[in-house]
Structure 1
Amino acid sequence: MSVTPTAPSAAPIEELKDEVAARFADVPLRIGTRTSPLARAQTDQVIAAVRSVLPDLPVETVGIETSADRWHGNLAELGGKGAFTKEIDGALVAGEVDLAVHSMKDVPGDVPLPAGTELGAFLPRGDTHDVLISRTGVGLGELPEGARVGTSAVRRRSQLGLYRSDLRIDRIRGSVNARLAKLDAGEFDAIVLARVGLERIGLTDRITEVLSTVWSAGSRPSMVPACGAAVIGVQARVEDQAVMRLLAHLGDEETTRWVSAERTALHLLSGHCNSPIALHCTTTDEGRLALSGLVFSEDGSGWVRSHATGVADDPVGLGARVADDLISQGARELIGDTRH
């Protein structure tokens, strides 16, 4: 499975302008995206990146409602996180759009991309913190015993359970705005969301507490991020060389290394949509890659952890080392226990 962009080497700008102008002489560049306010905001970032390279290129946004957007139950019943991308990928393969925009945390690691497509660029990574939003303005440690906390992510459920086993953790689905509405209506005492999503739609004023991304084993509030957290991926058809060459100008090299390490580990772990897996790659002050990986039991009472560093030009090797270490500690057994 390819986990890194395979776009051709970036062509000189003038050459690229001529190539793309010829490709889109009579039609706009069509960008497929989910229809939520957050998805639209993410697509606006892709458009801004395109226009930073080719300011005169006509662009059209094509909103696509996915099966996951219409479903409010357990994602496993729809086949997992791929339900966030299936319809958009289908439109890309069918030639109905030229680019597909995805939140990388929603792109499955256990199934390949549709044949003939590749992720050609990863935009610069945003803030990877998760945050708590509570109705009464108290933090995670101050929530009353038995408080109802909403999250749809099993990764979050496990880490919340490790820190506060008394909390009632219930599934919540829908857009960021819909989840906030449920909180405000009193259906939950608190919810956990990605900080970057709130930033992208201008709702950071709702944040009660920012949770540390550094693993704490339950000694304090923390939330190690998901694979691909806060990264926007842009996918295209490999045969569409003009578009692939354009994407070669949009990707962020450091983010690409981080995502490559994380997705390599996720793929080798064979994680499914119900797997409580956390993977977070960063760059040290010395310029080395550092990858932390954790696999949890569903309630957070058990876990295995690995952390390793490696050279910047081998993120795949680093991801493989961390995955192998986790597997040797029993990660596959923990993953198997959550396959329901």
Structure 2
Amino acid sequence: MDKLIIATRGSQLAMWQAEYVKAQLLKSFPNMVIEFAVVTATGDKILDKPLALIGGKGLFTKEIEDAMLAGRAHLAVHSLKDVPTELPEGLRLAAITKRDDTRDVFLSHTYRTIDDLPHGAVVGTTSLRRQMQLRAIRPDLTIKNLRGNVNTRLRKLAEGQYDAIILAYVGMKRLGLLESVPYHDPISEDVMIPPSGQASLGIEIIDDPEVAKIAETLNDPDSQLAAKIERDFVARLEGSCQVPIAVNAKVNEKNVLGRAMVGLPDGTEILQETLELPREEAEEMGLKMADIMIENGAKELLARAEAMAFKEERCERF
């Protein structure tokens, strides 16, 4: 194959990710011509509503997938956390890149940590997962919706619209923006469990053997196993719209440690599960954790969580 077209969103972070994948591919295929097809996703256009109200994760992948299915691209680079667990016919997730730091990061121009925030401080995040875990430890905080690309969110923080915001650490690191904020404190995963797929890139391809062979050079086995566990867990539990679900799998040579949390957006009711298995027995860990939590009432709790989240607005579907 002489030419490969990569579909990507046009945000600064998305382009960083696409350039990174291009550079990795050129190590294995130095003579290949690699071009980008830049696509604007619905999630990039609608910035005045939480994602859960307008269709959730698929809003960042649908237009890219449409471009691939129409023959305008061979391969797409996604933040894996944005990729739905079900993909359109004719496309598949062919590789998971080596995972980076999965933590969230606390950002503020005034306060050093979450613990330093005064009573009633305004924290920006639209993630129901972050809201749930924040309110569990600091129910006094005011949570305010936060949308836009990374630079837009940082500008709103600098303007004083928020006392602090929470973003993915890896995005700030990749864009070299951590030092632009006076106080940036990575949040321990003991305090805030990440979402499925955080800090890995998902390589989605058209169903073509030659493209698959190219994509396989990007795959990291440890990250692939972690991704399967996390995505299996979400697939077993997720409701019709985005709900507060946190899940993370840590893979080493011998063992896999899985941790998961679901609950109400206000943090008043939470279910947690931790499971550690030998690596050779961990393939179905995500399903096992989900089934344990279902037995403990997770589906009923998530149904209540969906009704509670944005209860004054209607969940739209695309």
Could you list the runs of 5+ residues in structure 1 that have no partner in the other structure? 1-19, 215-221
Query: Offset of 1:297 from its aligned partner?
Result: 1.1
Residue 289 of structure 2 corresponds to residue 325 of structure 1: no
- Provide the residue aligned with 2:189 in structure 1: 213
Mapped partners of 1:278, 1:270: distance in 2 = 11
Q: Is the 8 A contact 1:125 1:231 kept in 2?
A: yes
TM-score of the superposed pair, with normalisation by structure 1: 0.86
Matched, 1:106 2:82: yes
Partner residue of 1:234 out of 203, 210, 234 = 203
Cα offset, 1:274, TM superposition = 2.8
SS of the residue aligned with 2:284?
helix
Tell whether 2:98 aligns with 1:124. yes
Provide, for residues 17-68 of structure 1, a one-character-per-residue CA deviation record: whole Å limited to 9, x for no partner.
xxx2xxx3xxx31111111101111111111221121112111111111000
Per the alignment, residue 255 of structure 1 pairs with: 223
Q: Do 1:260 and 1:315's aligned partners in 2 also have CA atoms closer than 8 Å?
A: no
1:97 match: 73
Q: C-alpha offsets along residues 77-125 of structure 1, whole Å, 9 cap, x if unaligned?
A: 321111011100111111111111111111123xx20101111111100
CA drift at 1:273: 4.2
Distance 1:272 1:197 in 2: 27
The yes-or-no answer on 1:190 pairing with 2:158 is no
Paired with 1:297 and 1:150, the residues of 2 have a C-alpha distance of: 18
| Fraction of identical pairs, as percent | 37
Name the aligned partner's letter for residue 291 of structure 1. G
**Which has the larger displacement, 200-209 or 67-76?**
200-209
Is 2:148 the counterpart of 1:174?
Answer: yes
> Residues 178 and 184 of structure 2 are in contact (CA less than 8 Å); yes or no, is this contact kept in structure 1?
no
Structure-1 residue corresponding to 2:194: 225
Tell me the residue number matched to 1:152: 126
Aligned with 1:86 (options 62, 83, 86): 62
CA distance in 2, matches of 1:274, 1:233: 19
Measure the CA separation in 2 of the matches of 1:81 and 1:283.
Answer: 25
- The 8 Å contact of residues 32 and 100 in structure 1, kept in 2 or not, is answered as yes
Q: Distance in 1 between matches of 2:119 and 2:26?
A: 51
TM-score between both structures, scaled by the size of structure 2: 0.92
Structure 1 CA distance, aligned partners of 2:217 and 2:280? 19
How far residue 204 of structure 1 moved from its aligned partner, in angstroms, is 1.9
- AA paired with 1:45? Y
Cα pair 1:288 1:311 within 8 Å, conserved: yes
CA drift at 1:70: 0.6
Aligned to 2:249: 281
Q: Aligned to 1:302, which of 260, 269, 286?
A: 269
What secondary structure does 2:204 align onto? strand
Runs of 4+ aligned residues of structure 1 deviating over 3 Å after TM superposition are 313-316
Please say if 1:29 is aligned against 2:4.
yes
Distance 1:97 1:192 in 2: 33
Shift of 1:314: 4.6
Single out whichever of 328-337 and 272-281 deviates more from structure 2: 272-281
Q: Distance in 1 between matches of 2:131 and 2:53?
A: 18
CA contact (8 A) 1:271 1:277 kept: no
Report the RMSD for the aligned CA atoms in angstroms.
1.4
- Given that residues 125 and 145 in structure 2 are in contact (C-alpha distance below 8 angstroms), is that contact kept between their aligned partners in structure 1? yes
How many residues are aligned here? Answer: 304
Q: Distance in 2 between matches of 1:272 and 1:41?
A: 31
C-alpha contact 2:9 2:15 (8 A) present in aligned 1: yes
Match of 1:44 among 19, 26, 33: 19
Q: CA deviation at 1:339?
A: 2.1
Instruction: Give structure 2 stretches of 5+ with no counterpart.
Output: 308-318
Q: What is the distance in 2 between the residues matched to 1:183 and 1:135?
A: 8
